[in-house]
Structure 1
Amino acid sequence: MTVVNWPYPRWVAHRGAGKLAPENTLAAFRLGAAHGYRMFECDVKLSADDVPFLMHDATLDRTTNGHGTGGDKPWSELSLLDAGGWHSRAFAGEPLASFESIARYCLRNGHLLNIEIKPTPGTAGRTGKVVAQRAAELWANAHTPPLLTSFEPDALAAAREAAPDLPRGLLLDAMHPNWLDIAQQLGCVAIVCNHALWDAPTVARVQAAGLRTLSYTVNDEWAAERLTALGTDGIITDRVDLFSPTA
């Protein structure tokens, strides 16, 4: 699948508002929007009872007052956790965000979403399927669909089977063998990789294949300027306070 008319803005707010608010929470999305961002990246995984919710880590300890593996617990337990107090007193009591609550916030406000499918280890296929199905249902009447991305090819394959019309992107933290072939086999429309991996030949190769070039996580002006000069298509940043999304 090649996206000729790319519908997404160049600048994307990482996990809602980067490090200015507790990541992957509704509070972070609201703060990112207050800085003018209209597209957000977030991490989505499954609870033990298959409720999609936002969290980057496999474990709860870093970003909540809970402990253990998030995917091992039901949503009824996860929904009671404090996902803001670790960040600062101002956000104490901020709950974990369900995927549905974030989706409805974005849809009501005309915001766009990059959904990183972030499976608990061993659940790639199930997570890709459930997240893609729910995204397809929520965005059924939307003008612009969410962009589904993952480091896990199995998650993207399951997402493709469950919701073939939703665009997909392969995330990379290294240029492992056959990365472009894998992306094409999965019907991806984009490669999303560590910004340091892009160089002129790699950008040209991806664009010649009809895919878009996105970068994470770009927090310095020199890096953003380099990516702009290379002609890349999208920048995911924590620094919603530094970079204007209209630049």
Structure 2
Amino acid sequence: MTNTSRPPWPYPRWIAHRGAGKLAPENTLAAFRVGAQHGYRMFECDAKLSADGVPFLMHDATLERTTSGTGVGSDRTWSELARLDAGGWHSRAFAGEPLCTLENLARFCIANRFCLNIEIKPTPGQEHITGRVVAEQAAHWWRGQALPPLLSSFQPEALKAARESAPELPRALLLDTLWEGCLDHARALGCVALVCNHALWDADLVAHARAMGMRTLSYTVNDEWAAQRLIALGTDGIITDAVSRFSPAGS
């Protein structure tokens, strides 16, 4: 049974994964612009730290897949990272697209009144400092805004640090499997939501999450049947690469 006493979830249902999924180079400003052109008003991104502590957008720990660089991204200063090509791997149309700082994405989202889910994606071993810096800076950039970013992570240590440094920002635990005690961890971290691999959700888990006062989001949903199943379950958010397939209108 739905808990009708819960306040409305303020974020859109449909969330564009890494900006525009596969249509543009992930986690670049170009990708977020393409997602916006398809009508999306909320985006997901991955944030990690450069060697000199600048939060920037990249999923992988290493640079090879999505940039012209090599090695571990967090071993490079931002001035080094800023010179890399983060678009040519995708297509010639985006060749020369630079990496994006979290600050630049924050300015883009705030100027356009877009919502953001920041996945804290630490380089292994940097969970605490990444959670702290990302949360501190996000709290600074979004100060006074009506709707703050949702901070999520697979790493409880990163969420713990985020809570310590910016307790006012909402948090969510990311789950690829239901490991022992995960829901209790989410509650202890003060999470407002669970963001699960979409295959994990069933009626019992949705009911359990609701009973704990948490919202229910899913990644990465690219098929119509999967989206319809999650909508039928009454889940709150769907993260997708398929921004040209699903219309977010009215979400």
| Shorter-chain TM-score range | over 0.9
Q: How does 1:226-245 map to 2 (within 5 A)?
A: 226-245=229-248
What residue is the counterpart of 1:103 in the other structure? 106
* TM-score normalised by structure 2 residue count: 0.97
Q: Does the alignment pair 1:220 with 2:223?
A: yes
What residue is the counterpart of 1:179 in the other structure? 182
Amino acid paired to 1:61:
E
Q: Tell me if the contact between 1:3 and 1:211 (Cα under 8 Å) persists in the aligned partners.
A: no
Amino acid paired to 2:178:
M
Q: Tell me if the contact between 1:12 and 1:40 (Cα under 8 Å) persists in the aligned partners.
A: yes
Q: How does 1:117-128 map to 2 (within 5 A)?
A: 117-128=120-131
- Give the percent of matched residue pairs that are identical in Structure 1 and Structure 2: 70
Q: Tell me if the contact between 1:17 and 1:31 (Cα under 8 Å) persists in the aligned partners.
A: yes
User: Residue deviations 1:152-196, cap 9 Å, x none?
Assistant: 000000000000000000000000001110000000000001000
Secondary structure of 1:80's aligned partner: coil
- Which residue of the other structure, out of 79, 96, 107, is the alignment partner of 1:93? 96
What residue is the counterpart of 2:86 in the other structure? 83
Q: Give aligned pairs, total.
A: 246
What residue is the counterpart of 1:131 in the other structure? 134
User: Residue deviations 1:133-160, cap 9 Å, x none?
Assistant: 0000000011000000000000000000
- Which residue of the other structure, out of 174, 193, 198, is the alignment partner of 1:195? 198
How far residue 4 of structure 1 moved from its aligned partner, in angstroms, is 2.4
Determine the C-alpha separation between the residues in 1 that align with 2:142 and 2:247.
Answer: 27
Secondary structure of 1:148's aligned partner: strand
Q: Tell me if the contact between 2:19 and 2:34 (Cα under 8 Å) persists in the aligned partners.
A: yes
- Which residue of the other structure, out of 39, 44, 48, is the alignment partner of 1:41? 44
Q: How does 1:142-153 map to 2 (within 5 A)?
A: 142-153=145-156
- Which residue of the other structure, out of 14, 17, 28, is the alignment partner of 1:25? 28
Alpha carbon RMSD of aligned pairs, Å? 1.0
What residue is the counterpart of 2:69 in the other structure? 66
Determine the C-alpha separation between the residues in 2 that align with 1:101 and 1:202.
Answer: 37
What are the ranges of 5 or more consecutive residues in structure 2 without an aligned counterpart?
A: none
How far residue 5 of structure 1 moved from its aligned partner, in angstroms, is 2.9
How far residue 130 of structure 1 moved from its aligned partner, in angstroms, is 0.1
Determine the C-alpha separation between the residues in 2 that align with 1:246 and 1:206.
Answer: 27
* Cα gap change, 1:3 to 1:120, in 2 (>3 Å): farther
Q: Tell me if the contact between 2:160 and 2:189 (Cα under 8 Å) persists in the aligned partners.
A: yes
Amino acid paired to 1:181:
D
Determine the C-alpha separation between the residues in 2 that align with 1:188 and 1:159.
Answer: 11
